[in-house]
Amino acid sequence: MTDYVIEAELREETGRSATRRLRRAGKLPGIIYGGGKPDIAITMNYNTVSNLLAEEQFHTSMLEVKVKGSRGKNSVLLKDSQWDPVMDTATHLDFFRVSGKDTITMDVPVIAINYENAPGIVKGGLIDTVRHSLEITCRADSIPDQIEVDCADMEIGDTVHIEDITLPEGAEVLHDVNFTVLNLSTPKAGPDPEDDGEGEGEGEGEDTAEDAGTTEAAEEIRPSLKYA
């Protein structure tokens, strides 16, 4: 079963000049490969695919690419994406053929949940995510969207290791060391109350509320894919 369907067309021309013309025409070039079948160079509607790329789940889901003029079904995973370093727009996508029974290894994002009223947070602590993603091995049709870490009961100084996390059925993280995934750290030290701060404006040096939120911002993850 696939979560997304992408309409594409065969791409006859390759090379930098050809891809530049495609992008000016609102098309995004890509390639489908793997699975013991010939590579297929394709083009897709840029706006449609750009919207999909903004969805985190798109990067860890099985996809179906329907190629006009090509026979057969293309069940794939997004293997890689190239981006313009200045405009931050996608310039090329690589898709790898898989079937649901294939075992793959993919980076899946880690999300802290239920931390808002955790005892350590109430006392001023901060969630410090050490591993923003985990390398999950599972079937291609059972890739989790994210790995949730329940922080509801965490106190300041508590640490969550990989062996503390319950992974979805059929998924595993291969590891030799019980590494840290996240912890609830001690609040940052504020200014010395006995320091008059001579020459310092009122309120300067104080931590702002935004400081506590910086650890909550999820990193943009463009996952790597390994085929087992």
Give the pLDDT confidence score for residue 55 in this predicted structure.
Answer: 92
Nearest in space to 181 (alpha carbons), one of 164, 156, 198, 196:
164
Predicted TM-score (pTM) of this structure:
0.69
Q: Which of 93-102, 119-128, 197-206 has the lowest mean pLDDT?
A: 197-206
pLDDT over threshold 70, residue 2: no
Task: Give the mean pLDDT of 35-56.
Answer: 93
Task: Give per-residue pLDDT as tens, 118-130.
Answer: 999 999 999 999 9
**Which percentage of the chain shows pLDDT scores above 70?**
81
pLDDT over threshold 60, residue 27: yes
Say how far apart CA 126 and CA 191 lie, in whole Å: 18
Say how far apart CA 28 and CA 37 lie, in whole Å: 22
Enumerate domains of the chain plus CATH numbers.
4-97 (2.40.240.10), 103-192+205-227 (2.170.120.20)
Residue 128: helix, strand or coil by DSSP?
strand
pLDDT over threshold 90, residue 6: yes
Cα dihedral 166→168→172→173 (10° resolution): -60
Q: What angle do CA 48, 63, 94 make, to 5 degrees?
A: 75
pLDDT over threshold 50, residue 214: no
pLDDT band at 192 (very low <50, low <70, confident <90, very high): low
Report which of residues 200 and 184 the model is more confident about. 184
pLDDT over threshold 70, residue 201: no
Q: Which of 2-16, 138-152, 156-170, 176-190 has the lowest mean pLDDT?
A: 2-16
Say how far apart CA 210 and CA 207 lie, in whole Å: 8
Q: Which of 59-73, 158-172, 194-208 has the lowest mean pLDDT?
A: 194-208
Q: Which residues of 139-167 are buried (b: 16+ CB within 10 A; e: fewer)?
A: bbbebbbbbbbebeebebebebebeebeb
Task: Give the mean pLDDT of 65-84.
Answer: 89
Report which of residues 186 and 205 the model is more confident about. 186
Cα dihedral 181→186→188→194 (10° resolution): -170
Q: In whole numbers, what is the pLDDT of the chain averaged over residues?
A: 83
Are 63 and 77 contacting, i.e. CB atoms less than 8 angstroms apart?
yes
Give the pLDDT confidence score for residue 209 in this predicted structure.
Answer: 40
Give the pLDDT confidence score for residue 226 in this predicted structure.
Answer: 54
State the Rg of the chain over Cα: 23
Say how far apart CA 74 and CA 35 lie, in whole Å: 10
pLDDT over threshold 50, residue 180: yes
